[in-house]
């Protein structure tokens, strides 16, 4: 079983303490939510864990034997914003393998993209330009882009911000398997607090208290 250890994580912008001394331990099989109002530092926390911004503290991913995993095993899906790319859904997902791409795309890489499309039920969108898709469809494509590299940890920034994504994820469809892609062990996502989540945790407390 994998463990994601976050120890004394802090982020400062221009002398302001955005995230201060956050510690948490996540284990394989867990899906954890960081819930809070806009502007409290959820995105900053997620980006700090993914090493996308300067931070202090330590983040380590390891197994029961103490073997450490690299940053390549942690994938980040940003909050959906305006997408104008004419790339097809297939091409956009292929970019999730950018660290392994060369001048020529291999059959194995094509197969990985095709498998990910099938696992998320996105086969019908494969050849469509991403800019032509609905908000929820775009968000699913970017999730697939993260899944295609088969990460151990998935970090999601407001994954249900597109309203029809919730509908697509919950409605039955005979051709969709909606399986979690193989080998994903830990999920951490940030979400804006709404009236249905008030009882989940007290987001007015310091971030480290909410995580613990």
69: nearest Cα among 144, 154, 9, 153: 153
Residues 19-60 pLDDT 10s: 999 999 998 888 888 888 888 888 999 999 999 999 999 999
Residue 211, pLDDT > 70, answer: no
Mean pLDDT over residues 69-97, rounded?
Answer: 86
Residues 171-186 pLDDT 10s: 444 444 444 555 556 6
Share the mean pLDDT of the chain. Answer: 78
pLDDT for res 85: 85
DSSP state, residue 78: P
pLDDT for res 17: 87
pLDDT for res 100: 65
**Beta-sheet pairing, 16-27 with 3-13:** antiparallel
Mean pLDDT over residues 69-85, rounded?
Answer: 83
Q: Structure tokens of 88?
A: 């097809």
DSSP state, residue 211: H
Residues 158-170 pLDDT 10s: 776 654 544 454 4
Most confident among 135-144, 160-169, 195-204 (mean pLDDT): 135-144
| Ordered strands of the 186-192 beta sheet | 31-36, 186-192, 153-157, 74-77
pLDDT for res 54: 93
pLDDT for res 77: 85
């Amino acid at each position: 079983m994998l463990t994601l250890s976050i120890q004394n994580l802090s982020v400062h912008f221009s002398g302001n303490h955005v995230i201060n001394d956050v510690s948490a331990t996540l284990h394989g099989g867990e899906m954890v939510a960081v819930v809070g109002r806009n502007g409290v530092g959820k995105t900053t926390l997620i980006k700090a864990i993914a090493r996308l911004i300067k931070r202090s503290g330590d983040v380590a991913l390891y197994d029961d034997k103490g073997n450490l995993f690299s940053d390549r095993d942690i994938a980040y899906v940003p909050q959906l914003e305006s997408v104008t790319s004419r790339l097809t859904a297939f091409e956009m997902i292929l970019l999730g393998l950018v660290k392994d791409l060369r001048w020529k795309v291999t059959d194995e890489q094509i197969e990985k993209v095709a498998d990910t499309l099938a696992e998320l039920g996105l086969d019908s969108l494969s050849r469509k330009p991403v800019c032509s898709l609905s908000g929820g469809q775009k968000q699913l494509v970017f999730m697939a882009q993260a899944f295609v590299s088969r990460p151990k940890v998935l970090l999601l920034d407001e994954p249900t911000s597109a309203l029809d994504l919730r509908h697509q994820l919950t409605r039955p469809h005979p051709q969709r398997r909606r399986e979690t892609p193989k080998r994903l062990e830990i999920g951490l996502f940030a979400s804006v607090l709404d009236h249905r989540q008030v009882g989940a945790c007290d987001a007015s407390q310091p971030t480290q208290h909410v995580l613990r």
